[in-house]
Amino acid sequence: MTYEAFWLRYLRAHARPQTRALHYIGSLLALAALFLAVWDWRWLIAAPVIGYGFAWTAHVFLEGNRPETFGHPLWSLASDYRMLLLFLCGRLGPHLARAGSGPTEGE
């Protein structure tokens, strides 16, 4: 599988806006935890717990699917932040449309 094929599958696994929102929150909080790790190493442990906690909660309770992390952990991590950056730039919509997961207003 190519990364581009994975990316489309990843987006389909994140079809609900609420799922994507929980991923954004988890990703941003994980970055904040990494920043805080400069002063206290325990934040290094907290960062993945926080990030994956939000993401996996979304998959279990909102999407009802298995997180892509289990099959392709590095591609999944890269895709989490790619999705976040595209969302923040207002450029996620065309990617969602190409994947067959229609964008919501502002994406």
Tell whether 10 is covered by a domain: no
- For the segment 53-69, the average pLDDT, to the nearest whole number, is 89
Tokens for 14, please give them: 């994140």
User: Which one, of 70, 68, 72, 73, lies nearest residue 11 by Cα?
Assistant: 68
Cα–Cα distance, 63 to 82 (Å, whole number): 20
Tell whether 81 is covered by a domain: yes
Q: Mean pLDDT for the chain?
A: 92
Tell whether 8 is covered by a domain: no
Tell whether 37 is covered by a domain: yes
Tell whether 5 is covered by a domain: no
Q: Percentage of the chain surpassing pLDDT 70?
A: 94
Q: Are 55 and 67 in contact (CB under 8 A)?
A: yes
pLDDT band at residue 90 using 50, 70 and 90 as cut-offs:
very high
Detail the DSSP E strand segments found in 36-103: none
- For the segment 93-100, the average pLDDT, to the nearest whole number, is 92
Q: Say what the pTM is.
A: 0.89
pLDDT per residue over 12-44, tens digit each? 999 999 999 999 999 999 999 999 999 999 999
Cα–Cα distance, 9 to 100 (Å, whole number): 10
CB atoms within 10 A of CB 7: 18
Domain total of the chain? 1
With a CB cutoff of 8 Å and minimum separation 6, the contacts of 77 are: 69
